[in-house]
Structure 1
C-alpha cells in the first residue's frame, strides 16, 4: 500500500525522522488557513501517489496569502499523469543548502533490506544511477544485526557526504531504518533529503510503500488506505477476499493456488496470448467464490476470453463447475470460457458442465491445450 507524501512524513515523524512542519488540506479555504498558521513563505504540494509533481506544476512556493490561495486553486483538481489532486500539503519552506537521496527497500533476491544513499538528490534517481552508477551507494543490512553506526559511516564516506553532516545524516538513516522495520514497509524513500543552511538534515519528501499483508498488525496504517485511488478491479477483488493482480492483456485467468496461476500465465504467454489478470481463488474454493471471481474478471472490459485452470486437491472440481454454472446464470457472460479441470472430482465437474450445456464454454484436458484454445478464442 502506497502512502501519500504527508502520510509518509507523519509516519517518519513517529520514529523521530526530522521533517518540516505542515498541514493537509482538501479545500482552498483549508489550505489558506494552514498557510496562515504555518507562515510565509510556504510550499503548496499536490498529494498524489505518483512522481513528477514538480515538473507538472504540482509544487509551488507561496510568498504570501494571495499566492497561497492562487496556488491552492490551481493545484486542487489538477490532473497529474492521470491522478486527480484531491488534497494538498501546506509545508513550511526550507532553506536548502544541499539535496541528497536516501532509501531503504526490501531486496527479495538478497532476502534483506538494501539501503541506498546519494549526494545527487532532488532529481530522478534512475537517471543518476544510469549516468553515474558510482553516485548511488548501496549497502545490504543483516536483519538480525540491524542498521549500525558503522553502516551509516560507510555509506556517507562512499557517497562523499560533507564531513560536518555525517553524524546527523547517520542518525536520520538509523531512524529511517527503524521506521522501515517497525512499520513493516517494503520501501521508504526520501528525495530530496536536505541539508539546511544551518547544517541540519531533514526529509523534504516521503515515499512509503507498506506491506499489505502486515496491515492487520497496524490498524492505524490500514486506516490510511486511499480507496478512491486504488484500481477498481483490485478493490473489488479484495472486498471478496480474492488474491488478484490486474495485468495488461485480454485473457482472464483463474486458478487455485499461486503456483498454478503463475504457471498458467506462463503457458498463455507461450501460446502467444497475454493475461489480463492474476487471480488465485485459493484452496477449497466453493461455488460462491467462483461466481465472485468471474464477476471480478469480467469487470475488465479488455477481457475477450477467460481460462479456468483448476487442479483439484482441497478444491473440488465439481464445486468449481457449480460456481461457473451459477455465474453464467447470474452474470450471463458474453465472452468465451475455456475450462480445464483435473484432480478431485474432475469427472463429476466435467459432467456437470456437459449437462448444463453452457453457451460458449469449452473444456480441455491439458493446460497447454487450454492455453492454446483460449488464445485462439481471445483473438
Structure 2
C-alpha cells in the first residue's frame, strides 16, 4: 500500500526529516484560510506519477490564482485518478537535487540504502549512477555516511544527507515498510536540505502489527470507493468503464497503460504477473498468478474490459491457454451467465507476442464464446483500440 504525499510528509515531519510548511486542501475555498505565505505550490494528491507533466502541480502567488488553480487540479484526472485532496506547500528555491531511498531487497533479505546525485532518474540507465549500501548488520550512522561518500558528497552536505538517511531508516524499521523514498531532496544556496517529495510503501503483511496504519488503509480504501463513484460523472463519460491490465513486466504494463490513456480509455487496476502478489504466503506459478489476477479484476465492478498483454517467454506457456479458457468458460456457463446478468463479466482482449505463445494462441483462437467475450489480437495498438472501443460502448452495464 502506497501513501499519498501529504501523508508521507506527516510521517517525515514526525521523524525529523526536514519538510516545508504545508496545508491539506479539501476544497478550493480552504485556500481563503491558508496559513502559509505565498508563493505556494499546489500539488494533486494521487498515487499516479508524472503529476508535473499532467498539470497536477501549479505554482501560484495570490489567493485568487490559487483558488482557480485548485478548481482545475481537483477536476484533472491523472492516469484515470481524480484527487480528493490537494497539498499546498511553500515554494523552495533549490540549487541542487539528489535522490535517496531505503528499500527492502528481497533477493538478499536485507535493507539497502540507495542514493544518486541526480533526482530526475532515467531508470533504464540508473544502475550506472545509482550508489547503494547493503545494511548487513545492525544499522549505525556508518552506513549512511558511507552512502553519502559514495555519492561524492563532502563536508556539511555529507553530514546533512547522512542525517536524513538515518531518519529514513528509522522510519523504515518503525513502520515495517518496503520503501522510503525522498525524490527529490533539494539543497539550497546555503547548503540546507529539504525533502520536496516522498514515497512510502507499506508492507501489507505487517499491517496487523500497526493498528494506526490499518485504520489509514481502511480510509484509503473507502476514499477509492468514493473516488470511483465521482469518476462516473466526470466529463460525461459515466458509461465508459475502466480497462484492467495484466502483463508480465513493469515496462510493458506502463507502455500499455500509456497507450490506453492516449486512445481515450481509462486504465483500471494494473497487475504485474511476473512477481507474486503481496498477499501470497506460499510459492506461486505464473499460471496461478494469471488465474488470481483475472479473478481480482473481474471482481472489481468498475472493470469492463481486461486487456492481457504478454511478451517474450514465460514458464508454463501452454497451460496459460487453459487458465484463460477456464475463466471464459465459467462466464459462459449457466452460473456464469447468471453472475454476468447480475454484475456483468468483463470481456477479455488478449495479445500474446512471442513464439512461446503459438500453442496458446492456436488453442484460444478455436475457443467459442458468447458475445465475443474473448478477442484475440496480434498487434498491441489494435488490442488497445479494441479494449477502449468496448469500454466506451458500455456493452455491459455493471451494477
Once the two structures are superposed, residues 261-295 of structure 1 have per-residue CA deviations (whole angstroms, 9 ceiling, x without a partner) of 933716x9xxxxx657166xxxxxxxxxxxxx998
1:263 to 271, 277, 285: 285
Q: Matched residues in 2 for 1:172 and 1:11: separation? A: 13
Q: Offset of 1:329 from its aligned partner?
A: 10
Corresponding residue SS for 2:48: coil
Corresponding residue SS for 1:73: helix
Instruction: Determine the structure 1 residue equivalent to 2:299.
Output: 296
TM-score with structure 1 length normalisation? 0.64
Counterpart contact for 2:100–2:115, Cα < 8 Å: yes
Instruction: Determine the structure 1 residue equivalent to 2:10.
Output: 10
Q: Matched residues in 2 for 1:210 and 1:219: separation? A: 13
Corresponding residue SS for 2:87: strand
Q: Matched residues in 1 for 2:75 and 2:302: separation? A: 27
1:235-250 to structure 2, matched below 5 A, reads 248=246
Q: Number of residues paired by the alignment?
A: 289
Once the two structures are superposed, residues 30-73 of structure 1 have per-residue CA deviations (whole angstroms, 9 ceiling, x without a partner) of 13422xx1111111111110111111111111222222222212
Gaps of 5+ in 1: 233-245, 250-256, 269-273, 280-292, 309-324, 336-371
1:174-193 to structure 2, matched below 5 A, reads 174-193=166-185
2:62 to 64, 69, 87: 64
Q: Matched residues in 1 for 2:282 and 2:173: separation? A: 32
Q: 1:222 to 1:157 in 2, by over 3 A?
A: same
Instruction: Determine the structure 2 residue equivalent to 1:277.
Output: 293
TM-score with structure 2 length normalisation? 0.61
1:114 counterpart = 2:112: yes
Larger-Rg structure: 1
Q: 1:167 to 1:110 in 2, by over 3 A?
A: same
Q: Offset of 1:198 from its aligned partner?
A: 2.5
1:1-379 to structure 2, matched below 5 A, reads 1-34=1-34, 37-121=35-119, 123=120, 125=121, 127=122, 129-131=123-125, 133-142=127-136, 144-146=137-139, 148-225=140-217, 226-227=220-221, 230=224, 248=246, 262-263=284-285, 265=287, 275=291, 277=293, 296=299, 301-302=304-305, 305-306=325-326, 331=339, 376=367, 379=374
Q: Matched residues in 2 for 1:327 and 1:190: separation? A: 50
Q: Matched residues in 2 for 1:375 and 1:258: separation? A: 33
Corresponding residue SS for 1:223: helix
Gaps of 5+ in 2: 227-243, 248-278, 307-323, 346-362, 375-399
